[in-house]
């Protein structure tokens, strides 16, 4: 089974996010960069499939030089090979542009299965994995918590509102991950040592046969960023007894806030 | 003059999702700003009895594709049919709910139609005939205004973020017989927890965290049930195995925007706050008066949740009777 994992490096979820002076991007000085948590599920699932069925796992990312660290971490977990598409055009892309570039990067690779995170926890676009499947003309199943591969087909259980749905697709196919799929392993020390010697290619757009004009101008653009409004409240309800505190709270929710 | 707004409705077992009414209402508002018509698209199998409903939310035309192959949402069949409709109608705007179906279909359509997409929008406005969408990023730590260029401009709206407004549209039904085209996906089975309120659509969410101390969430479940709401959990509660991953609220779980969010025994890690801070009213109950949840809450009680939550349930019962 030849498996490709699409991976993005994102700010760790515990990061405080501030807006940069340009007003349309975030301050990056104090950010700790990590593998997108949903892509970590993707790496883990790819490794489990490889361990059960043989084959190889290739991690593909598009981003800046620093994304090499995230790819190395995936290699240390056990992936075999990494490819980073690094190009000035990448930095200017929206999700659709990134999907086009990733699709071009994997098009000429051998693959039976592509696994991607349902979303990256920075842009929260929920878009790239599914769009890559469309550009490659292969089926996709999103928000997967369980998969099973047999006879050239993949059966996936996906989460929907209030339950789950099981779908089946012929390979090659792409699926995106949902929390609950697995618990990603930590990279072991020998894994980290081995990862240093594993192939990691940095390629430009022309290396993957893409002309910048094919990507075109972004179709969506951030005009402004703002912080969500601060809550004024923070009203701690105090009283002589728990009964009186609760009575005041319920009264406030009913009469002031009108939510019950 | 704009070519119109198309709202893609979503039904499950012959009932429209709440977010569909929100998409229709917002679509209607956009159509008015753009000076064009609202067309609703209803897809499914055996859906005749609900087909006229979008007319009550301002749809001037309702395109109905009733086809056995559309009985369940399947990415390929649905994308094929909607892409055909878009090519025929040539709309300026395509709006739908950012549900598990809408997120999947809008992403695939965006690639198919080479069309811009704003995912999970909480606010939309029109400037010079173009859509500007406000959408949370970084798990809600940032709100971004995003401009879309090209046609159709696709917007998927966050459930519970926009209001529902009734408005009479002509509601002319047009039945289309569209072939679902080439499909690869096969439906195997579906398991729905009937009667369970979906977290992302709930008006009230009562969540428990580490302070629950174990898998017994009954005090929380009782309050949620009384208010017709859903039960959520913090990441610690899920990691402990007390609740399933599908209950997790936060940056790597579900993002919820209920009218009322009650956080019980949740300290308020930044990732959790990201998942619930767009709730309209937040109540926090925690023993630790320095818990970071309190400044983010509208109302706080410092104390033991096992003492206070049952009292709250009783007090609301009294209020209701």
A222 located within any domain: no
| Spatial contact of B178 and B35, defined as CB atoms under 8 Å apart | no
In 3D space, the residue among B202, B244, B231, B246 whose CA is nearest the CA of residue A143 turns out to be B246
In 3D space, the residue among A36, A37, A34 whose CA is nearest the CA of residue A66 turns out to be A34
Are residue A80 and residue A205 in the same domain, yes or no?
A: yes
pLDDT at position A2: 98
In 3D space, the residue among B160, B161, B140 whose CA is nearest the CA of residue B273 turns out to be B140
B188 located within any domain: no
Instruction: Give the pLDDT mean for A15-37.
Output: 96
pLDDT at position B1: 44
Are residue A14 and residue A132 in the same domain, yes or no?
A: yes
3-state class (DSSP) for residue A209:
coil
B182 located within any domain: no
Question: Which of B143, B175, B207 is where one domain is finished?
Answer: B175
Instruction: Give the pLDDT mean for A48-52.
Output: 98
Interface mutation target, options A20, A246, A255, chain B, most CBs of B under 10 Å: A246
Range of the domain at A250: 229-260
A–B interface: beta-carbon pairs under 8 A: 264
Are residue A241 and residue A177 in the same domain, yes or no?
A: no
Q: Dihedrals φ, ψ of B91, to 5°?
A: -75, 160
Are residue A200 and residue A142 in the same domain, yes or no?
A: yes
3-state class (DSSP) for residue A103:
helix
Are residue B80 and residue B208 in the same domain, yes or no?
A: no
B72 located within any domain: yes
User: In which residue are the tokens 């993707």 written?
Assistant: A42
| Spatial contact of B301 and A237, defined as CB atoms under 8 Å apart | yes
| Spatial contact of A61 and A83, defined as CB atoms under 8 Å apart | yes
B184 located within any domain: no
B263 located within any domain: yes
Report the CATH number that the domain containing residue A163 is assigned in CATH. 3.40.50.620
A168 → closest Cβ in B186, B295, B308: B186
A200 located within any domain: yes
Are residue A100 and residue A63 in the same domain, yes or no?
A: yes
Question: Which of B133, B160, B175 is where one domain is finished?
Answer: B175
Whole-Å CA distances, B85 to A167, A207, B39? 25, 38, 11
pLDDT at position B41: 98
Instruction: Flag whether pLDDT at A242 surpasses 50.
Output: yes
Q: How far is Cα A184 from Cα A57, in angstroms, rounded to an integer?
A: 15
B295 → closest Cβ in A122, A141, A234: A234
Counting as low any pLDDT under 70, the low residues of chain B are: 1-2
Instruction: Give the pLDDT mean for A140-149.
Output: 98
Q: Dihedrals φ, ψ of B78, to 5°?
A: -65, -40
Range of the domain at B214: 199-320
HSE of B148 in the Cβ direction (CA atoms, 13 Å)?
30
Whole-Å CA distances, A147 to A78, A158, B132? 20, 9, 38
Partners of A169 on chain B (C-beta within 8 Å) are 184-186
Report the CATH number that the domain containing residue B105 is assigned in CATH. 3.40.50.620
Are residue B21 and residue B170 in the same domain, yes or no?
A: yes
Q: How far apart are the first and last CA of chain B?
A: 54
Partners of A142 on chain B (C-beta within 8 Å) are 75, 100, 103-104
Are residue A154 and residue A243 in the same domain, yes or no?
A: no
Interface mutation target, options B111, B253, B281, B303, chain A, most CBs of A under 10 Å: B111
In this prediction, residue A161 has a pLDDT band, given cuts at 50, 70 and 90, of very high
Instruction: Give the pLDDT mean for A97-116.
Output: 97
| A81-85 vs A56-62, strand pairing mode | parallel
B192 located within any domain: no
| Total number of domains in chain B | 2
Helices B100-113 and A128-136: crossing angle in degrees, nearest 10, is 50
Of how many residues is chain B composed? 321
pLDDT at position B2: 63
The 3-state secondary structure of chain B reads CCCCEEEECCEECCEECHHHHHHHHHHHHHHHHHCCCEEEEEEECCCHHHCCHHHHECCCEEEEEECHHHCCCCHHHHHHHHHHHHHHHCCCEEEEECCHHHHHHHHHHHHHHCCCEEEEECEEEEECCEEEEEEEEHHHCEEEEEEECCCCEEEEECCCCCCCCCECCCCEEEECCCCCCCCCCEEEEEEECCCCCCHHHCCEEEEECHHHCCCCCHHHHHHHHHCCCEEEECHHHHHCCCCCHHHEECCCCECCCCCEEEEECCCCCHHHHHHHCCCCEEEEEECCCCCCHHHHCCEEEECCHHHHHHHHHHHHHHHHC
| Spatial contact of A162 and A169, defined as CB atoms under 8 Å apart | no
Are residue B164 and residue B212 in the same domain, yes or no?
A: no
Whole-Å CA distances, A155 to A78, A183, A217, B11? 24, 20, 37, 24
Chain B contact present for A23, CB below 8 A: no
Are residue A38 and residue A74 in the same domain, yes or no?
A: yes
pLDDT at position B129: 85
A223 located within any domain: no
| Spatial contact of A23 and A224, defined as CB atoms under 8 Å apart | yes
In this prediction, residue A111 has a pLDDT band, given cuts at 50, 70 and 90, of very high
In angstroms, what is the C-alpha Rg of chain A?
A: 22
Instruction: Give the pLDDT mean for A85-103.
Output: 97
| Total number of domains in chain A | 2
Are residue A197 and residue A239 in the same domain, yes or no?
A: no
Are residue B58 and residue B9 in the same domain, yes or no?
A: yes
Are residue A109 and residue A234 in the same domain, yes or no?
A: no
From the number of C-beta atoms within 10 Å of its C-beta (0-12, 13-18, 19+), residue A238 rates as exposed
A208 located within any domain: yes
Are residue A63 and residue A163 in the same domain, yes or no?
A: yes
Chain B contact present for A134, CB below 8 A: yes
In this prediction, residue A230 has a pLDDT band, given cuts at 50, 70 and 90, of confident
Distance of CA B201 to the CA centre of its chain: 6
In 3D space, the residue among B76, B73, B96 whose CA is nearest the CA of residue B152 turns out to be B96
Alpha helices in chain A (DSSP H): 37-53, 67-77, 88-91, 95-107, 128-136, 189-195, 212-215, 242-251
Are residue B149 and residue B64 in the same domain, yes or no?
A: yes
Q: How far is Cα A214 from Cα A87, in angstroms, rounded to an integer?
A: 14
Judged by CB atoms closer than 8 Å, whether chains meet at A234 and B143 is answered as no
What is the DSSP secondary-structure string of A11-33?
A: E-TT----B-TTSSSB--TTPPE
A221 located within any domain: no
Are residue A139 and residue A247 in the same domain, yes or no?
A: no
Chain A contact present for B187, CB below 8 A: yes
DSSP state of A64: -
Largest CA distance in chain A: 73
A224 located within any domain: no
Are residue A48 and residue A124 in the same domain, yes or no?
A: yes
Give the closest-approach CA distance of A199 to chain B in angstroms: 30
Report the CATH number that the domain containing residue B219 is assigned in CATH. 3.40.50.1220
């Amino acid at each position: 089974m030849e498996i490709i994992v699409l991976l993005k490096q994102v700010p760790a979820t515990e990061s405080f996010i501030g807006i940069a002076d340009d007003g349309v991007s975030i301050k990056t000085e104090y950010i700790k960069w990590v593998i997108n948590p949903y892509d970590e599920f993707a790496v883990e699932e790819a490794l489990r499939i490889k361990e059960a069925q043989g084959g190889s796992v290739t991690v593909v990312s598009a981003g800046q030089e620093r994304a090499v660290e995230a790819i190395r971490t995936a290699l240390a977990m056990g992936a075999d090979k990494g490819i980073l598409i690094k190009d000035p055009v990448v930095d200017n892309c929206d999700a659709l542009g990134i999907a086009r570039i990733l699709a071009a990067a994997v098009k000429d690779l051998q693959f039976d299965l592509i696994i991607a995170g349902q979303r990256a926890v920075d842009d929260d676009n929920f878009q790239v994995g599914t769009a890559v499947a469309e550009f490659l003309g292969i089926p996709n199943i999103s928000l997967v918590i369980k998969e099973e591969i047999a006879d050239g087909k993949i059966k996936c259980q996906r989460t929907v509102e209030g339950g789950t749905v099981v779908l089946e697709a012929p390979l090659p196919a792409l699926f995106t991950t949902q929390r609950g799929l697995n618990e990603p392993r930590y990279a072991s020390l020998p894994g980290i040592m081995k990862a240093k010697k594993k192939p990691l290619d940095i390629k430009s757009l022309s290396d993957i046969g893409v002309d910048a004009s094919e990507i075109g101008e972004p179709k969506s653009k951030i005009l402004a960023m703002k912080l969500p409004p601060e809550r004024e409240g923070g009203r701690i309800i105090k009283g002589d007894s728990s009964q009186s505190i609760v009575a005041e709270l319920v009264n406030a929710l009913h009469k002031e806030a009108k939510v019950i | 003059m704009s070519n119109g707004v198309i709202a893609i409705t979503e039904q499950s077992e012959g009932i429209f999702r709440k977010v569909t009414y929100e998409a229709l209402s917002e679509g209607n508002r956009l159509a008015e700003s753009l000076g064009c018509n609202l067309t609703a698209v209803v897809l499914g199998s055996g859906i005749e009895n609900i087909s006229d409903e979008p007319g009550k939310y301002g749809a001037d035309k309702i395109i109905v594709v009733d086809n056995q192959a559309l009985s369940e949402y399947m990415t390929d069949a649905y994308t094929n049919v909607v892409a055909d409709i878009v090519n025929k109608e040539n709309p300026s705007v395509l709006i739908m709910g950012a549900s598990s179906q809408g997120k999947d279909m809008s992403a695939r359509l965006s690639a198919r139609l080479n069309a811009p997409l704003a995912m999970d929008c909480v606010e939309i406005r029109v400037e010079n005939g173009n859509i500007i969408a406000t959408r949370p990023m970084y798990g809600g730590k940032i709100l971004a205004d995003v401009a879309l260029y090209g046609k159709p401009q696709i917007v998927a709206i966050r459930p519970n973020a926009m209001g529902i407004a009734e408005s009479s549209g002509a509601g002319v039904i047009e039945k289309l017989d569209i072939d679902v085209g080439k499909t690869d996906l096969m439906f195997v089975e579906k398991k729905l927890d009937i009667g369970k309120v979906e977290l992302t659509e709930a008006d009230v969410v009562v969540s428990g965290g580490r302070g629950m101390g174990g898998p017994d969430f009954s005090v929380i479940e009782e309050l949620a049930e009384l208010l017709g709401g859903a039960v959520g959990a913090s990441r610690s509660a899920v990691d402990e195995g007390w609740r399933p991953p599908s209950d997790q609220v936060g940056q790597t779980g579900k993002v919820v925007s209920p009218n009322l969010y009650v956080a019980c025994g949740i300290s308020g890690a930044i990732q959790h706050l990201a998942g619930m801070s767009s709730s309209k009213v937040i109540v926090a109950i925690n023993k630790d008066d320095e818990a970071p949840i309190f400044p983010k809450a509208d109302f706080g009680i410092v104390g033991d949740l096992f003492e206070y939550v049952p009292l709250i349930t009783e007090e609301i019962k009294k209020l209701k009777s």
